Amino acid sequence: MDELLRFATSGSVDDGKSTLIGRLLFDSKQILSDQLAHIEEVSLRAGRDGIDLALLTDGLRAEREQGITIDVAYRYFQTPKRKFIIADTPGHEQYTRNMVTGASTSDLSLVLVDARKGVIEQSKRHAFIASLLRIPHVVVCVNKMDAVDWDEGVFDRIVEDFTDFAAPLDIHDLLFIPISALHGDNVVERSERMRWYQGPTLLHHLEHVHIASDRDLANARFPVQWVVRTDDYRGYAGQVAGGVLRPGDDVVVLPSGRTSRIASIDTLDGSLDEAFPPMSVTVRLEGDLDVGRGDMIVRPTDRPPPAREIVADVAWMADAPLEAGGRYTIKHTTRTARAVVDAVEHRIDVHTLEPDCTGCSLRLNDLGRVKLRLSAPLTADPYAINRTTGSFILIDEATNDTVGGGMVVSAGG
């Protein structure tokens, strides 16, 4: 079983997202006694009826006061079968950048739909962002089934509406689960009140969903993060971003184009016969090569062409707009370069999910397609092939703030 699953939650305000995460932690016995005592005290002080499990995740004071999720809250828990990192992301349109940040590294997206409201605009936007980020697995939890008397017909209509909307999106694995986060039905334990549902509980699915094959195992990609030197050892440390590396493999170091062969793959626990994503290892090469941080080790047979021009979908995260002519630092894997915005081809209307070509800029929380020209070639793959080597961030050169996150559509030039 894959050891770690990262998943992001999204939903509209008052869909019960924070309550669901609290329920997962509570019913899987992940809450310490002092945490529980504190939540009971806060719930009592706020006049809540019983324990408010949402308080386990709405950690900021402003969130508790307003009853909404603003920032991305990361939570860790584990069961005997798997470890989990939850990114509890905001649902509101004005926090799109926070949602993109939390979901960008996720293996699975958990979208909440209120059974009383059905599939609304924000539900569609969350599904669209999950597909844009190429999250391989999407689970739609139809929450608050208790508020519709556990009606199978309500659930079936939501499944049909959501499936129709998601048909043109790039979602390969879509599952629907009827739940009540408030009462715990189908979250950890199977519901006795919805016996018509024959699928897995949410936790069972999270424990068993297969993610090992979601990564690019065909094209070898090893961005060098650090050079490890001692008197008798020289190796290159980093995280495998694609493919399977083995001692004896012929490799090319980019951008120099120098060739070599893998002598060994080393870790603190000893040498390995192979390494694959997302393992962190040190690769030792035969011969005396000049290799440094920012270089990429690949195979001769599947080397990506050096790219000086990139077309990408960008999530904009700054108050100052992204416009043609803008200059930024681009960070791609372990390499940086300078980037000039050649054009903003369109922004995506988050209400209709259609490209909008009016105007030529991206503003805070906008998503859109951008063409960039680079000062130095990058070893970039399309994001559809490799989410690691196909992604980058844009940095404001004056403030050093991260102002955008990008997903490569095409690279060349």
The structural domains of the chain, ordered by start, are 4-213 (3.40.50.300), 222-302 (2.40.30.10), 307-412 (2.40.30.10)
Confidence check: pLDDT of 122 > 50: yes
How confident is the prediction for the chain on average, in pLDDT? Answer: 87
Confidence check: pLDDT of 9 > 60: yes
Report d(CA 165, CA 66) in Å as an integer.
31
Residue 36 pLDDT class (50, 70, 90 cuts): low
Residue 69 pLDDT class (50, 70, 90 cuts): very low
Confidence check: pLDDT of 65 > 80: no
Which region among 17-21, 161-165, 239-243, 365-369 has the lowest average model confidence (pLDDT)?
17-21
List the structure tokens of 193.
Answer: 């009140």
- Mark residue 366 as left, alpha or beta (left: phi above 0; alpha: psi -120 to 50; beta: remaining): beta
- Mark residue 403 as left, alpha or beta (left: phi above 0; alpha: psi -120 to 50; beta: remaining): alpha
Higher pLDDT, 150 or 169: 150
Confidence check: pLDDT of 130 > 60: yes
- Find, among 22, 73, 48, 76, the residue nearest to 188 by Cα: 22
Q: What are the beta bridge partners of residue 340? A: 327, 373
Report d(CA 166, CA 340) in Å as an integer.
34
pLDDT of residue 168: 86
Report d(CA 345, CA 359) in Å as an integer.
9
Report d(CA 282, CA 225) in Å as an integer.
10
pLDDT of residue 288: 86
- Find, among 350, 379, 386, 389, the residue nearest to 367 by Cα: 350
Residue 71 pLDDT class (50, 70, 90 cuts): low
pLDDT of residue 34: 57
Confidence check: pLDDT of 183 > 60: yes
pLDDT of residue 93: 58
Report d(CA 389, CA 379) in Å as an integer.
8
Confidence check: pLDDT of 345 > 60: yes
List the structure tokens of 181.
Answer: 């986060």
Looking at residues 379-406, what average pLDDT do you find? 94
- Specify whether the CB–CB gap between 273 and 262 falls below 8 A: no
pLDDT of residue 91: 59
pLDDT of residue 338: 97
Which region among 165-169, 221-225, 288-292, 350-354 has the lowest average model confidence (pLDDT)?
350-354
Report d(CA 110, CA 122) in Å as an integer.
13
- Specify whether the CB–CB gap between 295 and 279 falls below 8 A: no
Higher pLDDT, 15 or 282: 282
Confidence check: pLDDT of 35 > 80: no
CB atoms within 10 A of CB 391: 22
Per-residue H/E/C for 325-345: CCEEEEEECCEEEEEEEEEEE
- Find, among 213, 223, 159, 235, the residue nearest to 388 by Cα: 223
Confidence check: pLDDT of 39 > 80: no
Q: What are the beta bridge partners of residue 222? A: 297
Higher pLDDT, 365 or 270: 270
Which region among 65-79, 249-263, 336-350 has the lowest average model confidence (pLDDT)?
65-79
Q: What is the per-residue burial (b if ≥16 Cβ within 10 Å, else e) of 274-291?
A: ebbbeeebbbbbeeebeb
pLDDT of residue 241: 95
Confidence check: pLDDT of 403 > 80: yes
Looking at residues 45-66, what average pLDDT do you find? 55
Which region among 94-98, 273-277, 309-313, 355-359 has the lowest average model confidence (pLDDT)?
94-98
Structure confidence by residue, pLDDT tens digits, 208-264: 999 888 888 899 999 999 999 998 899 999 999 999 999 999 999 999 999 999 999
Residue 20 pLDDT class (50, 70, 90 cuts): confident
Looking at residues 29-56, what average pLDDT do you find? 63
Which region among 58-62, 95-99, 212-216, 349-353 has the lowest average model confidence (pLDDT)?
58-62
Distances (CA, A) of 336 to 194, 219, 325, 379, 395: 53, 22, 19, 11, 10
